[in-house]
Chain A
Amino acid sequence: MMHRFIASLAMGCLLAVAASPASAQTFRYPEDARPSSLLPFFAEDMSAVRMVELIFDGLVLQNKRGDIEGSLATSWKRDPDNMGITFVLREGVKWHDGQPFTADDVVFTVKAAQDKKTVFNAKSKYRFIRDVQASGQFQVHFSFDRPIAEPEERFTFKIMPKHAFTSTTITRKDRFGRKPIGTGPYQVSKFSLRSVTLEVNGSHWRQPRVGQVLMQHTPDKSAQINLLQYSGGKAGVQAVIFVPPKNIAIFENSDSVVLEPYHTVSWWYMAYNHESGALKDPVVREAIALAINREELLEAHLGRGDILGGPFTESSPFYNFEVTPREPDVERAAQMLEDAGYKMKGDSRKKGRNKLDFKFVLDKELTSNQPLFLGIQAQLKKIGVIVRPQYVDHARYREQVFTSKKFDLTLNVWSFKDVEDVYPLFHSQGVMNFIGYNNAQVDTLLDTAKATRDYKQYKEYMKKLHAELNRDLPYFFLWSLDIYSGISKRVRNVMVSPYSYFTFFPGWELMQ
């Protein structure tokens, strides 16, 4: 390192031409955030989810048509009473370290997930499994705690090797998070501070084409865009996961890059803290919602998207098309406040002890929130509502907003893996109800919906919920975005999967 360093300082650009050994068969992409752990349980940030998709396999996967297809399992059979399922496993599969894959690994993964001392976000996804048993080396049977209609789609979770762990208690400090061993199409060859290099697993049954994958943490979005724009060269990247809407124009008529739309179930919201002062008053929530011009904000900062009235996106089966999102109306908002007794005093409104002067907490990690906030601040100012920003880092945000609830307003995004489950968000007992929301009607709707086994009825309840939440404003629902990934035209056979992005990567090809 040292002598190369001196030489380069001395010889400058000449040497750098020679010092670019990256193979042409490398697929490179930048990420906004660093994956903290590649252990599937702890892969909670999206950058880790995407990597884990390449390194590990599940028993099944969702194919391009959205159907369930075998992966580590080749076939399965449901129990007649829908209380269990038997999977037949693929034979001859080897872990990246050469050990054979067997049914014991599947049993271990479920046991580890259910171990009380293993703590992770997605633990509830394993709760429906009552028991798991291996019968022979390549067959495994699961039994459930209740009848499940289409159980196989719940088995996309990643399988981990039993031999890499000493017990089913898995902690975040396990080094496996940095040196993962999977069965997937790629294996980790280097995990450095801000980049991860993957080498192809030549013996994988899906026969991946690209030889090497390199992910690098590049927090600067404009640097990412520059890299893609010049991706023809040796220094560039072949894909940018998320192209910000304001940069889309650069690639719209590009010779070298295609914009690949992909679907994610996620929506943006502004949360009200229902336990704090004036925000308990529905009139105040309504007035704030009327004062904010979502179209204008969307157009200025984020580009295309759908304005929402409730917690479901237009593609969701629960979306209620009879609900029309509010149109902004500044005069009416101001009048409402005036009528309800909130009078201007100084530069903000006040009624008794309730001052319309709010603490707006923002997570610095979500960089697009800052300009959005500036717009919201200016819009609310017009009706005499003051919002004061407090920018905090991610750890502190979670502590302050989710745990100790010291906020009045905040901006955030919820992403869902497939179908929106909003029970934890809006039920008064929900674990993610950090806003202190308590609406008896909503509770009843959610409880009856949860108890029902009839999907059609469930859908109806959700649509009612959509309407009620639009009326009562637990959050001010903002929008869902059209998301585009920018991918170099040198990459062929591109198919981006929703959420985990890289599910079909083994089919991708890299042209010279």
Chain B
Amino acid sequence: MSRALRLLLAAAGRTGGALVLLMGASFVIYITIRSAPGDAIDAISPMGTPPQVKARLLAEFGLDRDPLTGYFAWLFRSARGDFGDSLVVAAGESVMAVAWPAFKITLILSGLTLLASLALALLGALVLGRPAGRQQLLTGPLYVITSAPSFVQAVLLAQGLNWTIHRYWEQLNYETPPWYPIPIYTDSLMPYVFAGLALLLGDGLFMDFFNAIRAELEGLRDAQFIAAVKAKGARTWGHIARNMLVPLVSGYAARLPIVLGGVVIVEYIFTLEGAGYLLLEASRERDFPVVVGISVLFTATVIGSTLIADVLRTLVDPREVARGG
């Protein structure tokens, strides 16, 4: 009972801490964006707009308040779920109505990519087992390939596919093959698949996962309690699986921010309608409510995933509670 209570308290404390962090981060982001030179009015108003007209537009867009007052007004409203309206990118639309669909695409894309990466790494670690000399030589080239930034992978993939089409286009009867990675219509899933592939192959993600899992597995195989289970003649798989769960989940959560970083540029290359595209467009056009909204979504995801990993660790390993934040 007391343990459950302690766990609950610890979880609540962490959540509270996460909210405070989110507030702090949103403050940093808001102030940063508002101090940009050139605003949405400059981006859209005609040259030679008289100052009084500009002042009226600024008031209309809510840009006449100083950043600090603006922030608290923003915080107060967003606490009730109102993140304001887009100024330029989708003028008049509420920020979340614009940002959320885009963010969902980014989140699903990076989430699934990470899952695929995890599955591959786990499979690799189980199949390859302990590293032996020759295998290590094999992992060398793999290491170099997977260390490249995902945007380099994406460029190589896109250019390679274009080149292939160039080469064999006539044989293809002058028809763009359906797997063409940058099609114009929005219904195709192929750009997502290729973007996922670039993310999977890049940023050192895969080898990092692979090495971490292999080390974890080795550690478990050598662990005394596994030896004890073995000595009893019972099967060890269940124990290993249970003990692998936590490092896998926390490893997943820890790597999510890395993938979210890579996805911004990969989206740009494969022309996806994701949060990265939206962020770049909105900051270009000084649509600051959208920029703040999307940055806060990114931050919340990072904080949220760390929180989940923390809570999970606490559940499995009670010592974490005592250790504290």
Contacts and interface: CB of A to CB of B under 8 A. Distances in A.
A touches B in complex, CB < 8 A: yes
Interface of A: 1-2, 4-6, 8-9, 12-13, 15-17, 19-22, 26, 28-30, 34, 36-37, 42, 44, 117, 119-121, 123, 171-175, 177-178, 192-195, 214, 216-220, 223, 226-227, 230-237, 255-256, 365, 393-400, 402-403, 424, 431-432, 434
Given A5-B192, A178-B90, A178-B92, A232 B175 contact: yes
A19 B186 CA distance: 11
B92 A174 contact: yes
Interface in B137-188: 162, 165, 169, 173-180, 182-188
Given A16-B179, A402-B47, A434-B47, A395 B189 contact: no
B145 to A, nearest CB: 20
Given A193-B102, A223-B182, A424-B48, A9 B193 contact: yes
A39 to B, nearest CB: 9
Contacts of B53: 119
A174 B37 CA distance: 25
18 contacts: A5-B192, A9-B196, A13-B190, A36-B44, A171-B60, A173-B91, A194-B273, A214-B185, A216-B185, A232-B175, A233-B180, A235-B177, A236-B183, A393-B283, A395-B286, A400-B38, A431-B47, A432-B47
A117 B112 contact: no
Given A193-B277, A234-B178, A398-B43, A218 B184 contact: yes
B130 interface: no
A172 B91 contact: yes
Interface stretch (B21-29, B81-89, B255-263, B306-314): B81-89
A397 B102 CA distance: 28
A179 to B, nearest CB: 9
B281 A34 contact: yes
Contact of B180 (A5, A8, A195, A230): A230
The residue among B38, B45, B193 with the most chain A CB atoms within 10 A of its own CB is B38
Given A194-B277, A226-B182, A256-B174, A16 B285 contact: no
Contact of B165 (A15, A192, A230): A230
A97 B274 CA distance: 31
B178 A17 contact: yes
B56 interface: yes
A20 B180 CA distance: 12
A369 to B, nearest CB: 16
A395 B188 CA distance: 33
Contact of A395 (B177, B190, B285): B285
Nearest to A13: B179
Interface size class of B (residues with CB under 8 A): 35 or more
Given A19-B188, A20-B178, A36 B89 contact: yes
B46 interface: yes
Interface string B237-274: 00000000000000000000000000000000101010
B284 interface: yes
Contacts of A216: 184-186, 271
Q: Is the interface of B mostly helix, strand, loop or mixed?
A: loop
B92 A177 contact: yes
Interface string B198-236: 000000000000000000000000000000000000000
B31 interface: no
Interface of B: 36-40, 42-49, 53, 56-57, 60-61, 85, 87-93, 98, 101-102, 104, 108, 112, 116, 162, 165, 169, 173-180, 182-190, 192-193, 196, 269, 271, 273, 277-278, 281, 283-286
B161 to A, nearest CB: 10
Given A16-B188, A218-B184, A230-B176, A193 B162 contact: no
A6 B179 CA distance: 17
Given A28-B185, A398-B43, A402-B47, A117 B56 contact: yes
B273 A193 contact: yes
B175 A119 contact: no
A37 B173 CA distance: 40
A120 B104 CA distance: 34
A218 B271 contact: yes
Contacts of B188: 16, 19-20, 235
Contacts of B90: 178, 193
A168 B294 CA distance: 33
B184 A431 contact: no
Given A16-B179, A193-B90, A214-B184, A6 B285 contact: no
A175 B278 contact: no
A187 B56 CA distance: 32
B173 to A, nearest CB: 8
Given A9-B193, A193-B90, A256-B174, 10 more contacts: A8-B192, A13-B179, A119-B46, A119-B49, A178-B93, A220-B182, A227-B182, A230-B165, A395-B285, A434-B47
Nearest to B42: A399
A434 B49 CA distance: 12
A394 B43 contact: yes
A425 to B, nearest CB: 10
A2 B187 CA distance: 14
Counting from the closest, the 4 A-B pairs by CB-CB distance are A431-B48, A233-B176, A395-B43, A399-B38
The residue among A194, A219, A235 with the most chain B CB atoms within 10 A of its own CB is A235
B13 to A, nearest CB: 33
A495 B182 CA distance: 28
Given A8-B192, A234-B175, A396 B37 contact: yes
A176 to B, nearest CB: 8
Contacts of A233: 174-178, 180
The residue among B85, B177, B278 with the most chain A CB atoms within 10 A of its own CB is B177
